[in-house]
């Protein structure tokens, strides 16, 4: 009976593949938004201000970082919790595939969040004339919280190894 229950629990990990597939499919939304912004940029590049251009470019960078984060989470989580990914050696295998454990994945995710938060904070500073001082202060506090969390996670990871 114990083996039967353990096998059921162990095989339940395959349910996570639905979530990882969902993350991969959500890339389509990012791609659509990326091209929507890109087309807008191309059509209106002569009519927009420098600030608006920079904000749109920062949005494209944000989308790119989030897309890479989605792929990294989906692939490495699948490999950590479900099954090893067998890639044909003739194809270009990602160098980090199979090397990210859950601890290093947390560090990569938190550093990506800090980078995304930095870009978001920069875009807020670009729009400073619109946003009130309290909102700016709150964004800075949130960013510092992300940054502090990243350093704590990195420190703990080094201490545990």
What is d(CA 51, CA 68) in angstroms, rounded to the nearest whole number?
26
Asked whether residue 16 carries a pLDDT value surpassing 60, the answer given is yes
Q: Which residues contact 49 (CB under 8 A, 6 or more apart)?
A: none
Q: For 113-132, write each residue's pLDDT tens digit.
A: 888 888 877 777 766 665 56
Asked whether residue 77 carries a pLDDT value surpassing 80, the answer given is yes
What is d(CA 136, CA 129) in angstroms, rounded to the nearest whole number?
11
What is d(CA 63, CA 67) in angstroms, rounded to the nearest whole number?
6
User: Stretch 47-53: mean pLDDT, rounded?
Assistant: 87
Say whether 108 sits in a helix, a strand or coil: helix
Q: Which of these, 94, 76, 65, lies nearest to 16 by C-alpha position?
A: 76
């Amino acid at each position: 009976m114990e083996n039967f229950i353990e096998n059921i629990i162990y095989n339940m990990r395959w349910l996570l593949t639905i979530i990882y597939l969902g993350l991969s499919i959500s890339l389509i939304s990012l791609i659509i938004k990326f091209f929507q912004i890109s087309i807008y940029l191309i059509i209106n590049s002569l009519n927009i201000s420098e600030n608006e251009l920079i904000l749109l470019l920062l949005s494209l960078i944000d989308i790119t970082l989030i897309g890479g984060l989605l792929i990294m989470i989906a692939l490495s989580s699948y490999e950590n919790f479900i099954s090893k990914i067998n890639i044909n050696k003739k194809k270009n295998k990602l160098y980090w595939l199979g090397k990210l454990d859950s601890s290093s994945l947390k560090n990569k995710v938190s550093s990506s969040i800090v980078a995304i938060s930095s870009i978001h904070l920069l875009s807020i500073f670009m729009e400073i004339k619109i946003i009130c001082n309290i909102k700016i202060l709150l964004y800075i506090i949130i960013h510092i919280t992300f940054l502090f969390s990243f350093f704590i996670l990195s420190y703990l990871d080094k201490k545990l190894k």
